[in-house]
Each structure stands twice: as structure tokens, then as C-alpha cells.
Chain A
């Protein structure tokens, strides 16, 4: 009987051991994840403060010099990762809540900076404010739509706020727009849109986005055409649009040529041979 008991206990110990290892491992991985999130958060913060400072310093400087630096792409990445952590570890995880508040704060800060920039420098920045609540199935769908939209138009700035997060900044922010507790709510420009908005609905509100996307695709095509004809690396090529149907390009900042599109839509490449020759000569 005694040896039986010993065995039952032994098996129990092994089982408990396996459980401890499994739960410990998952816990460890989750903590690693939160830590990496924390790092990212810090990086975004530094970016934002840097931008703010730069913006203050360059108030008198030409707008062109700050336009590129100010757009912090990592904010979007942070949002995605936070979203994953939320579904993974539960929205009631204290660390997740803490990170989410911080993220909301960063978003507001970024939004304000963008506003200031667009006023001062007269640039058009497309942004969407998105307010959602928990226990809202339409919000989940709206989330899918916005994620897809962001993938399609990376330059689009989407700020999302969980109104159920007990956070004064969000409360103040929502009170500015006065849309009642209907979710999902999108604020685009000065208008608010309530209920699920589909991709096509939102695209219609940003006509310039579509156009810009078309341009980019066209440019991409030109790039590929040049690469095919010159066997140069993409990094070495730069392309400029001259007119509706004509592009000039540089290779290694030296070799120039043009690509034009004729009436049938065919592309024709012209490489300036003199430049090529002189390039060879100097070598």
C-alpha cells in the first residue's frame, strides 16, 4: 500500500511539474511580449518628443524640412501589437491597460502635432479618429476595415480610442465631438460617421488618397521597367515625374535617361548615351 501511495504522489509531482512548466513558459512569453511593447512605447515617446522639439525649433524654418521626419510610423506598429496583446492576455490585464492608456496619450499627442503641422505648413494630412467600445460586434468589424485601409494606404493616419478605458484624456477628447455613446464612431475632418463604415465608404471620403495610390502604382511600374532595361539595383535609381506621360531618371546620380508613355500605353526608354560614355571615360 505504501509503495502505491508513493507512486500516486510521484505521478502527481510530475503532472504538477508539467503544469508549472507550461504555465510558466506561457507567462514568460507574455511578459517578454509586454516588455517588447514597453520598449516600443518608449521609442515612440522619444520620437514624439523629438518631433515636438524639432517642430518648436523649426517654427520659422521651411515646412519641407520637417514634413518627412515628423511622421512616426511606429505608432501604427505599436497599435497592432497592443491589440494582439489585448486579445491574447485579456483586456483586464493591468499591464495591458497601462500600456493602452499610454498609447492613447501618444495618439492624442501625435494628432495634435499633425493638426499644428497642417495649419502652419498648409499640408493635407489625412486622418481618421476612431472611437470604439467593448461588447460591440460592429466595432470588431470596423477594426478589420480600418486595419485593411491602413495596409492599403500607409500614409493614412488612424487614431483609435477605447472609450471604455477609464482615462480622462479620452473622456475630454470625446467630449469635444459630442456624438453620444454610439459605437463605432469615425471622425473624419469635421464630420462624424456612426455605425459600420465599409472600405468603399471611407475611400470616397479621401479622393486624393486614391489618386495618390494610383500615382504610386504607376511610379512602381516605371521603376520595374527601368530595372528590366538597365539591370540596375532599385536603390540606385531615382525617378522624377516631368509631365503626365514622361519621367526622367538617374542611376547612381549620374546616368540619366527618360521613360515616356506613348498613345498606346507602351513605355519607351531613352538612355542618354553621352552620360554613359563620360561615366566610362572618367573611370
Chain B
């Protein structure tokens, strides 16, 4: 038990270190060219193609395409390429209405079991300066692409990622994910400040075409091609920027089972990709990404795997004691009129829990500030805490287990 206690404190120390590291990074002043292009006239619009890979997205694809057509961007500079990845539903029929649209090109291919193939299929046909991806379950804010140009004005920026937000959450689980994504925005900004973005997510990441010309096309990458390409770029010191004002809405899984499946795929892919790029770990060359962000990312997955059973035990043990006591002496409801402070038990764990909670509130506030969300503290943070206490360990444990046994997790 003593060993467990030390283990717990060491883990807490590392976790706290990471959180403070992110906070410090967040507030760090960015060096280099901080000039922003704000006047309409000075924006240089680069020719862009957005790939929309769809596999059985008949109900959502239309909304995705409409949002792209409404982008505040010169029409002659923007092409939308819809790739039907062998859908078995009516997706192909649904998109036929855009057949003669000047900005839209429709492509169809046989499904090969993974998204990367659809993206590579599209890349062959693309000649524009920028290439973006937008999953068919997401839709963009009309200013999203325009804001990207501020970042692409810097020649060194090779890709830009948006602020991902859960759009119109309905179920409790989706509301929990909304809070989670908003907190994620804080982390994203902190990572961007220290050049440590290690994922270019499916919803609306935009790259210079040059990236694929020089580094090659997408890879299968354990069904997480969006993590692999980012790591590949980082390895070659390609800069990935984060445009917080570019908002893209996505849908989170509504039910428990698909959510766990999605997260197992993410975490499994994350672990396996880092394993593939393990020569980046602890290399001074990669600075914070190699020294702190990636190692601690892995550490946090495994720590949860160990700490979850422990904390569950810490909750259950007093409960067993209490039931034992009640069954023995009966339940007596007596609240003392005066609290004797002597008996108020405050331990290190309690204080760390409070610190953790305050930090969560703080970063949620910061995340929502980034996207100008006025409603800072909503009930969804409670859902999120609940999700992270009881559900997240499930997918973390499962994906670690899969990763250790190199078991493939299926796409969808």
C-alpha cells in the first residue's frame, strides 16, 4: 500500500507538471513574426481544394457541402472534391444534385476499408496550392478558411488546424464531449505555441499541397492517418499552426458504445503511431514535443490504466465499510447541530482533487474564451467529469490492451 501511495504521488506530480507546463506555454508570448493580416485588401487567397471523403453519410453530407459553399472565400479559388468511398447507402445519389456545380467535383471509388485510401485517391487529382479535408459529419463556419490565410501568409506554416467544437449536442454524452472539446482548444493553443501539434484532425485541417509532394501521401497508420501525417510533418520540422478563430462543428457519438469504439481507435492509433515515431522521443531536436508532450501523452494513457482500479478501490472500500456498519448497527440519521472541525478530514488527495477541479474549470474558461463562447460554466462540465471518471478509463484500458497485443481496431 505504501508503494501504491508513492506511485500515486509521483503520477500526480508528473500530471500536475504537465498541466502547469501547458498553462505556461499557453501564456507564453510567441516569438517571431507576430504581425497579423487584418485588412481585407492584404489577404492573399491561395487556391484551395477541400476533400470530403464520405462513407455512408447520406444524412449529413449535404449540410457539410452547403457549409463549404457558404465559405467567405473567392469562388474561383475554392474547389470541393467529394469522394464517395464506396458507400452502400444513398450518399452517391444525394450528392448528384451538385453534379453541375462549377466548384464541385464528384468522385467515386471502391471502398478499401480505410479513409487514407480515399484521401490519396483525391490527392492524385489535385493541383491547388492548398489541400484540406472535411469529414462528412462536420460543417464549417463561413469565416474559417479566410482566417487560415493569416497563417499561410507565413511561408514556414505548412498546415493549419481549426477550433473543433461539438455542434448542437443533444445527449448527455455529447454535452460531455462538448466540454471536453472546449478544454481541448486550450491544449491545442498551448501546443501550437510550442510547435507541438501532433494531430491534424479530419475536420478541416488544411495543408500546403507541397506537404504531400515532399513527404508522400497519407498512410494507413492504424486507422489514424490524421495523427500520422502530423507526426511525419513534425519529424521533418514542418510547422503546423492553429487558427483558433476558424471554427468547425463536428458531431460526437451520441451513444456509449460508438463513443468507446471511436476513442479506442484514437488512443490505439496514438500509441501505435508514437511507437512508429519513437525515435522522436527524448530528442532535443524536437524540443518540447519530443521531451515532454509525446512522452507524457503516452504516460497519461498508462497512468489512467493503473490509477483507475486504484481509485475505484478507494471509493468502494469505504462504501463496503459503510454497508457493513449499517447492517450491524442500523441506519441512524443524525446530523450534529455543530460541526466539530476536528473530524473534518483533509488529506493530500483531497487538496489535489480540488486543484485538479480548479484547473479544469480554468482551462474550460480559457477554451471557451478562444472561440468567444459567452457561456463559460455550464452543466456539461459535470457530465464531462463523470465521463472522465467512469467511461474514459474503459477506452484507455481497452486501447492500451489492444496496443500491447498489437490488435487492430476497426475503422467505424
Contact = CB atoms under 8 A, between A and B. Distances in A.
Q: Is chain B a partner of chain A in the same complex?
A: yes
B355 interface: yes
A26 B24 contact: no
A199 B342 contact: no
B325 A88 contact: no
Interface in A79-104: 81, 84, 88
A144 B328 contact: yes
B97 interface: no
Nearest to B16: A15
A29 B291 CA distance: 38
Contacts of B348: 22-23, 26
Interface string A1-17: 10010011011101100
B20 interface: yes
B329 A1 contact: no
Interface of B: 13, 16-17, 20-21, 24-25, 28, 284, 287-288, 291-292, 321, 324-325, 328-330, 332, 342-343, 345-348, 351-352, 355
Interface residues of A, number: 29
B346 A26 contact: yes
Given A18-B16, A18-B355, A84-B343, A4 B328 contact: no
Interface of A (DSSP majority class): helix
A149 to B, nearest CB: 9
Nearest to B326: A144
Contacts of A11: 17, 20-21, 24
A173 interface: no
Contacts, number: 65
B20 A14 contact: yes
Nearest to B334: A151
A19 B352 CA distance: 9
Interface of A: 1, 4, 7-8, 10-12, 14-15, 18-19, 22-23, 25-26, 29, 33, 36, 81, 84, 88, 140-141, 144-145, 148, 151, 198-199
A35 B355 CA distance: 28
A26 B351 contact: yes
A25 B351 contact: yes
Contacts of B342: 33, 36, 81, 84
Contacts of B288: 4
A81 B340 CA distance: 10
B324 A88 contact: no
Contacts of A88: 345, 347
